[in-house]
Amino acid sequence: MRGVPVVVGYALRESLRRRVFLVVLVLTAAFVALYWLGAQKAFEAVDESEPPPAAALAGIDTRTLTGATLFGLSMFGTLFLGVVLAAFLTLSVVRGDAERGLLQPLVVRPIGRAALLVGRFLAAAAVCTVYVLAVYGANLAITWSTGSWRPDRIVEPALELTAAVAVIAALSLLGSVVLSATANGIAVFMVFGAGLVAGLLGQIGEVLESDTLRDVAEVTSWVLPFEALYQDGLNAITADTSGFTEFALQLGPFGGAQPGGPFLWPWTVAYLLLVGVAALAAFARKDL
């Protein structure tokens, strides 16, 4: 594994020099600017207008309702952009690069295939972690500066978003061993979409008290823990909110998230290891 730092350095330089990184930066700037505009206008509306009579009567905190909904939206956007970045950094690492002739000169060097794959994962995870934390931090600052609202938990959701993106990077690396770049990209985004849909079904199941929908969401969360991490992060931003405000949040698209429970982090670590072992085993046997 002495070659891991060399591969990490190579992959980091590749990440920063490829044009796709510039595209991601431009799109991120557009996303953050859009979020700033939305937050500005939303909190202006909260400040300038009276809350609806029913909301006032129920004691719903409209600032919290607005802030949590906006921040939940920003978390979804951050997760999505992080997933896009993770997928682009990893989707062609093995088969895609081998088909283009980029991989063979590296693999024949004495560092070994395992070091190559581990180095690629660490580099992708590092880039995505920095990226997700930067976007998360920017949105946090915008929400605070425009509406004087901040989430009940700050660090926990940030870490969970980065872990969720790392899970996607690991799945994408595993997919890259067996699938071509295009097929892997499609597969990664379909898995991501399936996880989100299952999470939404779980939220609907909570409101409707449907055991079937809740079971679907729970099983999916174990199979695709990035969804459980995202849900737990969403739940954490209003962890101390209660009463009718909490109830109103649960009715919204980002408010009904469920906590992941004490096994979420251990399972995430075990899941990353399992996916890593599967990827290494498949790569070790792959003819190039």
The residues binding another protein (CB under 8 A) are 3, 6, 10, 13-14, 17-18, 100-102, 104-112, 285, 287-288
DSSP H helical segments within the chain, as ranges?
Answer: 4-17, 19-48, 53-58, 62-90, 95-100, 104-107, 113-147, 155-178, 181-208, 211-223, 225-237, 243-251, 264-284
> Max alpha carbon distance in the chain (Å)?
72
Q: Could you tell me if 117 and 173 are in contact, meaning their C-beta atoms sit under 8 angstroms apart?
A: yes
Q: How far is the CB of 14 from another protein (least distance, A)?
A: 6
User: Of 30 and 102, which CB lies nearer to another protein in the complex structure?
Assistant: 102
Q: How far is the CB of 27 from another protein (least distance, A)?
A: 20
Q: How far is the CB of 277 from another protein (least distance, A)?
A: 20
User: Of 113 and 150, which CB lies nearer to another protein in the complex structure?
Assistant: 113
User: Of 25 and 190, which CB lies nearer to another protein in the complex structure?
Assistant: 25
Residue showing tokens 């794959």: 117
Q: How far is the CB of 248 from another protein (least distance, A)?
A: 50
Residue 65: Cβ-neighbour burial (10 angstroms; 0-12, 13-18, 19+): buried
3-state DSSP assignment of residue 254: coil
Residue 33: Cβ-neighbour burial (10 angstroms; 0-12, 13-18, 19+): exposed
Q: How far is the CB of 147 from another protein (least distance, A)?
A: 42
Q: How far is the CB of 234 from another protein (least distance, A)?
A: 38
CA angle, residues 37, 142, 133, in degrees to nearest 5: 120
User: Of 47 and 99, which CB lies nearer to another protein in the complex structure?
Assistant: 99
**CA atoms within 13 A of residue 70's CA, in its CB half-sphere:** 30
Residue type, 113: R
Overall residue count recorded for the chain in this entry: 288
Q: How far is the CB of 6 from another protein (least distance, A)?
A: 4
